[in-house]
Amino acid sequence: MTTQFMDVDVRPTLRAGGEPFGEIMAAVAKLPPGQGLRLLATFKPTPLLQVLGSKGFSHEAREIGGGDWEVLFTPGAAAGTAPARTATATDDSAWPEPVQHMDNRDLDPPEPLVRILAATETMAQGEVLSALLCREPAFLLPELAKRGHAWHGGFEPDGKTYKILIRVGAAKQAA
């Protein structure tokens, strides 16, 4: 079966100095099962490769000239079947209320990552941190796993705010 691709050209957004992550994720959310995404960008979107890889997409990237790139994201068996949330532990109802809240939506990378990791260092085992971000924290999640924390995360209904709950040390306890 040949994969059909939805075209998303973010080059105008990038050339205007904009951030196309929300545009890309909105397109991914609209993909019917089995459909891929053909992304055109002004650079190789390396962080996005990991983000969509975690959602079950494989990719083929090639430079198409003038510094522009075409990336074909092909859905695997798991693409489109995973919920919008990323989870590494039990459901939300089993988690205690957050003891600390952070709004990092106006900060430039890597400041949200730095602040969240610093906050978790001051918290007791089992406590929960709630943080709001302006994008999915692709580089934060591996750091949380490395430090033994569990998390739940996903985009809020506005489609622009990513909310993550982090339970300090919970992954260590489960192991």
Residue at 147 is within a domain: yes
Q: What gap in Å lies between CA 144 and CA 147, rounded to an integer?
A: 5
Of 6-20, 43-57, 89-103, the least confident: 89-103
Residue 79: predicted pLDDT: 53
Q: What gap in Å lies between CA 132 and CA 150, rounded to an integer?
A: 16
Residue 110: predicted pLDDT: 83
Residue predicted with more confidence, 110 or 119: 119
Output the domain CATH number for residue 150: 3.30.110.40
Number of domains composing the chain: 2
Residue at 117 is within a domain: yes
The whole model's pTM is what? 0.51
Q: Where are the beta strands (DSSP E) in 51-149?
A: 57-65, 68-75, 86-87, 100-103, 128-133
In the predicted structure, residue 1 carries a pLDDT above the cut 70: no
Residue at 62 is within a domain: yes
Token pair in block for residue 60: 């083929």
For residues 92-119, average pLDDT:
88
Show the domain range for 156. 100-168
Residue 76: predicted pLDDT: 83
pLDDT digits (tens, 9 = 90+) for 113-172: 999 999 999 999 999 999 999 988 888 888 888 889 898 888 888 888 999 999 998 766
